[in-house]
């Protein structure tokens, strides 16, 4: 492996790769698919920087394999739960992420999941493909109408949560939220009502998760939380899968307490919970929240620029503290 190289653990979009070729030589780029662990460790040896994806576990073992020259790990994601931040800090290795550039794309997808579940879009699509005949009926396919003033509860009103709030407000929803910005001026303009976590789960018609995965938030949507939710409510997760106990969610759906769920992320990603897979009331997506073309370019470019800054002796643009 080239010593002092920059390792890109999976090939990025064409725009991001051409910036990487221009700004970060010598470059070692692994394949499109996630590298197996041995290959990752081998190719990290001697690296001064690693551009990593959320599919790679970045930890002490990898830092040992890389050796003492490693200066930055630039994650191509807002979330950094795949990185052992404490180990990086201990070794003086900088970590950066890509906040800000994926808010709108992720919020678009959260809204899409809210509408897909409440208006039963995917279920209806499956029905019409399999039905031999059908006819319009006044009581058929009725679902929760967000635009009729349903209450949307946003867990974690950060950048992405606020982008969801803007959309939900435009749709005519009443919005309640947790998070430091829920009592700020932008939230006030969107008529967001700040609430505690318990009240949010107890009163929202739709709960949508936008908090990071940390040791405090892991498993926060457990059986007790799900039991506290309103009869016939919905859960949307475009954050991180392990925020939710999926078996408890399957129970809540099977018992008819929850009317539906929309999941872009999965507890044991890339594995998908079999019980949820069988449920008609669940919309399942393969972690595509940021998969807008412009957003994926912007994420890759920001990660490349973070590395370029550090190699030039400056701070990354978007460091993780
Ligand atoms: C992120 O940035 O954390 C997203 O989950 C990637 O799409």
pLDDT at 311: 97
Residues of the chain with pLDDT under 50: none
Does ligand 1 lie within 6 Å of residue 292's CB atom? no
Same fold, 5-99+294-311 and 103-284: yes
Check: pTM over 0.75? Answer yes or no.
yes
What whole-number distance in Å separates Cα of residue 321 and Cα of residue 307? 16
**Residue (of 38, 82, 80) closest to 59 by Cα position:** 82
Domain 5-99+294-311 carries which CATH code? 3.40.50.720
Tell which one of 58, 100, 102 to mutate to probe ligand 1, the residue whose CB is within 8 A of the most ligand atoms: 102
320 Cβ below 6 A of ligand 1: no
Residue of 290, 297, 318 to test ligand 1 pocket, by largest number of atoms within 8 Å of CB: 290
The finding on whether 43 has its CB within 6 A of some atom of ligand 1 is no
* Alpha carbons 105 and 174: distance in angstroms, whole number: 22
Cis peptide before 26 (omega within 30 of 0): yes
User: Quick one: which atom of ligand 1 is closest to the CA of 289?
Assistant: 7
Does ligand 1 lie within 6 Å of residue 53's CB atom? no
pLDDT of residue 99: 98
Is the CB of residue 79 below 6 angstroms from any atom belonging to ligand 1?
yes
Determine which helix (DSSP H) or strand (DSSP E) holds 305, and give its type and residue range.
helix 293-311
Shortest-distance atom of ligand 1 to CA 76: 2
Q: Would you say 175 and 165 are in contact if contact means Cβ atoms under 8 Å apart?
A: yes
pLDDT tens track for 297-314: 999 999 999 999 999 999
Q: Is 287 noted as a catalytic residue in this protein?
A: yes
Q: Yes or no: say if 138 and 197 are a contact pair by the CB < 8 Å rule.
A: no
**Which residue's C-alpha comes closest to atom 7 of ligand 1?**
290
Q: What whole-number distance in Å separates Cα of residue 238 and Cα of residue 157? A: 13
User: What pLDDT score was predicted for residue 195?
Assistant: 98
Write down the pLDDT at residue 1: 62
Q: Is 289 in the pocket of ligand 1 (CB under 6 A)?
A: yes
CATH superfamily of 103-284: NAD(P)-binding Rossmann-like Domain (3.40.50.720)
Q: Which residue, chain included where needed, has tokens 């009502």?
A: 193
The pLDDT of residue 180 is: 86
**299 CA distance to ligand 1 centroid (A)?**
9
Nearest CA among 289, 176, 182 for reference residue 237 = 289
The answer to whether 8 and 27 have CB atoms below 8 angstroms apart is yes
116 φ/ψ angles, rounded to the nearest 5 degrees: -65, -40
42 is catalytic: no
For the chain, the structural domain boundaries read 5-99+294-311, 103-284
Give me the pLDDT at residue 321, please: 87
């Amino acid at each position: 492996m080239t010593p002092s190289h920059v390792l890109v653990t999976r090939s990025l979009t064409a725009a991001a790769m051409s910036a990487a070729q221009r700004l970060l030589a010598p470059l070692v780029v692994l394949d499109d698919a996630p590298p197996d662990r041995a290959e990752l460790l081998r190719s990290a040896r001697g690296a001064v920087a690693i551009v990593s994806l959320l599919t790679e576990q970045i930890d002490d073992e990898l830092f040992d394999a890389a050796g003492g020259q490693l200066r930055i790990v630039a994650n191509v994601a807002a979330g950094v739960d795949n990185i052992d931040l404490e180990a990086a800090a201990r070794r003086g290795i900088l970590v950066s992420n890509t906040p800000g550039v994926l808010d709108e794309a992720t919020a678009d997808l959260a809204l899409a999941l809210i509408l897909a579940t409440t208006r039963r879009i995917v279920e209806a699509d499956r029905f019409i493909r399999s039905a031999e005949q059908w006819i319009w009926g006044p009581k058929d396919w009725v679902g929760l109408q967000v635009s009729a003033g349903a209450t949307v509860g946003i867990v974690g009103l950060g950048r992405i949560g606020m982008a969801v709030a803007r959309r939900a407000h435009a749709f005519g929803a009443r919005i309640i939220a947790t998070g430091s910005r829920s009592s700020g001026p932008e939230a006030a303009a969107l008529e967001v009502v700040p609430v505690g976590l318990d009240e949010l789960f107890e009163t929202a018609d739709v709960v949508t998760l936008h908090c990071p995965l940390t040791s405090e938030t892991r498993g926060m949507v457990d059986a007790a939380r799900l039991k506290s939710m309103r009869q016939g409510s919905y859960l949307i997760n475009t954050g991180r899968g392990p925020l939710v106990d999926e078996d408890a969610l399957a129970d809540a759906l099977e018992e008819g307490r929850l009317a539906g769920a929309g999941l872009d992320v999965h507890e044991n990603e890339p594995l998908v919970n079999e019980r949820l897979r069988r449920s008609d009331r669940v919309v399942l997506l393969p972690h595509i929240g940021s998969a807008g073309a412009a957003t994926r370019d912007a994420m890759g470019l920001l990660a490349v620029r973070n590395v370029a800054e550090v190699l030039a002796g400056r701070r990354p643009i978007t460091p993780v503290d």
